[in-house]
Each structure stands twice: as C-alpha cells, then as structure tokens.
Amino acid sequence: MQIVDTTISIGELHRMAAEMFGDLVKAVVDVDRELIAVDAELHSDLEALLLNDGSNQGSLWGINLYPERSSEDFIEFDSMINIRPSQGNRSRGVDDEKTRARILTIIKKKVIK
C-alpha cells in the first residue's frame, strides 16, 4: 500500500495490477487533500491508511483503476466504502457529480500516462 502525494506512472499501476488482481488497482481518493492511496486487496485497508495519515472520513472515496483500458473506462466508481447514507450516497458508486469530477481531476493530475 502506498499514498501517492505527487504522481504515479501508468507503468507502476500496470505492475500493481499484475501482482494483485490482474487488471485493476484498488484506490481511495481524498478529495480534500488531493491524495490517492493505492495497491491493497480491500478499499477499507486504503481508507484506514489515509485515516491514519490525517484524512477525514467524509473526504474518502473508493475507486478502481484499470491501467489497460482507455481513458473513458480507466476509472470505475465502485466500492463498499462509498455507501454513506448520512452523506446522501446510497450506492457503491459516487452519486454526486461534483465529487466525481473532483476525483477525475485528481486522478488526471496524479497518474502519468
């Protein structure tokens, strides 16, 4: 597991995917601190890593990254940690368009293709 505070290469994501799930890398994005935690079996492990690093629970969103896919299908908004009725998110996705846009912006800044 690692926290990406600067950038990560698509090649590194390819390596992580190959070593864990084959085609995807689980990630958790802190939309306020603009950090990404990557490379764990469970989103909840990445969430705990960021919480221990000072992140706020309400700012953390789980996604999956598919290094082999085109930019349109590169990110999947799907994680059990995203189910938060208290924040108005009742699905495993990220229901709020502004939050999804923030996540996309952070990923574009941090992942070097």
Specify the pLDDT at position 91.
97
Please say if the pLDDT value at position 72 is more than 90. Answer: no
pLDDT at 113 over 90: no
Q: Which residues contact 62 (CB under 8 A, 6 or more apart)?
A: 26, 27, 28, 43, 46, 47, 78, 79, 80, 81, 82
Domain encompassing residue 93: 2-112
Q: What total number of domains does the chain contain?
A: 1
**pLDDT value of residue 94:** 97
List pLDDT tens digits, range 38-71.
999 999 999 999 999 999 999 999 999 999 998 8
The model's pLDDT over 87-111, given as tens digits with 9 standing for 90+, comes to 999 999 999 999 999 999 999 999 9
